[in-house]
Each structure stands twice: as C-alpha cells, then as structure tokens.
Amino acid sequence: MIDTLPIDIQQTSQSRIGELNLDQLVFGRTFADHMFVADFDGKEWTDLRIVPYGDMAFSPALMPLHYGQAIFEGMKAYKSADGEVLIFRPQENAARLNRSAHRLCMAEIPEDIFLAGLYELLKLDSQWVPQRDNYSLYIRPFMFATDEYIGVSPSKKYRFIIFNCPVGAYYSKPVKVKVETQYVRAAPGGTGAAKCAGNYAASLYPAKLAQEEGYDQLIWTDGAEHKYVEEAGTMNFMFVIDGKLVTPAVSDSILDGITRKSIVQIAKDWGMEVEERKVSIAELIENLENGRLQEAFGAGTAAVVSPISTIGYEGKNFELPEIKADSFANRVKAYLDDIKYGRVEDTHNWIVRL
C-alpha cells in the first residue's frame, strides 16, 4: 500500500446500491456512486477529489472532441469469500496509462496519485464490488485534454478520472472470429501500443461488417501486408500449438496486455514452452488444417480468457477443437480467478488488498 494523499471527498447524499440487480446486469451500463477526479493545470496535478458520479459540462471547443487526445485503462477489483476487496496488478495499469500519455503528448500522472485515488474510491464504493463468482467491479481510469482551443497542438491542461461499474462475464460462450485482411487496427509507428480512444473508433466499422456476416469479432492482421496475426478484437491473441503457448510478440502496433503478460508467466510457471513471436496467417491456417492448433483464445481485462470456436478466412470457416475442462484456456482462467478472488496463494504479488 502507499501513503494516503490529501483527497477531498464529497460523498453522495443517496447511494444507488439498492438499485443494483446482478441477475440483470448488462456489461458497462451500471455505474457506482462515486468517481475520482484530478486536474493538470499545465504545471502540476491539483484538486484531487472524489465526487458523486455524474455528468460534466464542457465547451464545444474542448480539444479531445476534435483532435482525440484521450486515453484510458481497463482493470478490475474482486471480492474474496471473507469480503476483502482485491485489485489485480494496478501498478501495471498506472504504468501503461503513462506510456499511452507519452505517446499522445499528454501529461503523465504520478503513480501515487493514480493509486491513492483508486484505493480511496474503492474503499468508499466497496459495496459495489460483487461478491459472486465471475463477477467483478470493472474500473475505468481515463484522461483527456481540457484546453478549449481549435488548433492542432497538444493541450496544456488535462483531467484524469476513475469511475467503476459492476460487471459479469463479457462473453458467455466461445466466440466466432474473422481474419481481417482489408481494414487496419494499427500500423507500424502508429498508436497501436497505446490505449487511446482513436484505436477503438477505427475498429468499429470493420467489426460491424464482420458481425453482419455472423462473426463476433475480428482477428486483426498487420497493417503493412495483412500477413501476420496481431490482436483478436479488443484482446490479445494466444494459441496452443503442439502443446506450446504461442502469442504474437508485443510491438508498436500491439497492446502490451496485462492479462496476456500474466498468462505467459503462469504458463512458464507450469513448465509450458512459450513462444512470443510473429505468427503468420499462413501458419495459423496450416495448423488449423493439420490439427496441430489445439486452442485459440483472446486474453484481456474485460473477457479475461475468451475461447475461440471458429476462425473465418477468405470465405471459409475453420472449426477449432471443442474446449474441454482440462484445456489450457480453462485451466489458466480458473487459476487467474483463484488468484483474483483470493482463493490461492499469490506467489507473484499481483494482488493489492484493501
């Protein structure tokens, strides 16, 4: 834990926790009572505060509405059987947010402000963390420019906010994906390694076209040749080929996923051979056809581990082997869940306990 910073807390006069119904929860639609806010005035971060979750007023000239200086993170908190709130690898999210800020010429936020605001917010809204398997509190830290100026240049002022929403499972069944060979999520030298709003905006149209064809998401390929696998929708992409865990190496067009990083470490702990390298579409299809590709799954904060049932490529669907109880994807998801809910020893010190 870190030292407490002076944070002004304005508690809501009436909690909405009584309206929470976990049995009818839609991912990302229900929000907890409070949010943490801090402002960068051009020189330093000031006015650290926790206020009731609510709307914000802004000028039509607010710079991110025009030039896209907006970044975010995704992370989760869990509740153990004895009611303790547990956060999974928050320091990693703080570091990655600052890497994104650097890429977009934004002010970096000190880790102590990020973590102190997060911890105080979760203490205040701890009752919003569901105490149920496969449920968690999704945490959304984000930052955006606050200069009101129509001119293409970095803003001098920024706002950082954290808000939370209780969630259940992101995908309820294995997903069907299509290899995208026309549109590009990210190009070399671009912003693919940053978690910025523009990356997701660019993905919406090709994802919509794939969904109209009956797929759940896309497999993104490299922007230069459409020859190599990069990500799976909004997740990192991972395979089991001949008993080895294979995943595209992180690059300037692939997000350095925290769930991905954790799975790689667990696989190594279990004595599994791991390859982080370029994976071509040709190799992927060849291994699908000859039965060497045993599993394929996406890995990310929202879905955690999402098995893939079907891969579509050039008008043909390739079916993957049925996901079994003892598959790597199921075993690693169960183990990650056990760590996150405090059911097993956290040997890597990934969990922060409030």
The dotted CATH code for 175-332 is 3.20.10.10
pLDDT-based confidence at residue 223 (cuts at 50, 70, 90): very high
Overall average pLDDT of the 35-50 stretch: 98
pLDDT-based confidence at residue 3 (cuts at 50, 70, 90): low
Helix (H) or strand (E) holding 102: helix 90-103
C-beta of residue 88 within 8 angstroms of C-beta of residue 340: yes
Whether 188 shows a pLDDT value over 70: the answer reads yes
Q: What pLDDT is recorded for position 194? A: 95
pLDDT-based confidence at residue 169 (cuts at 50, 70, 90): confident
The amino acid at 122: L
Q: What pLDDT is recorded for position 341? A: 97
Overall average pLDDT of the 146-163 stretch: 97
C-beta of residue 248 within 8 angstroms of C-beta of residue 277: yes
Q: What pLDDT is recorded for position 66? A: 97
Query: CA 278: distance to chain centroid?
Result: 22
The dotted CATH code for 8-168 is 3.30.470.10
* Same fold for the pair 8-168 and 175-332: no
Q: State the Cα–Cα distance between residues 335 and 158, nearest whole angstrom.
A: 38
Overall average pLDDT of the 242-249 stretch: 96
Q: Residue ranges of the domains in the chain?
A: 8-168, 175-332
Overall average pLDDT of the 159-166 stretch: 98
Structure tokens at 178: 């299509």
Q: What is the dihedral of CA 247, 253, 259, 262, to 10 degrees?
A: 60
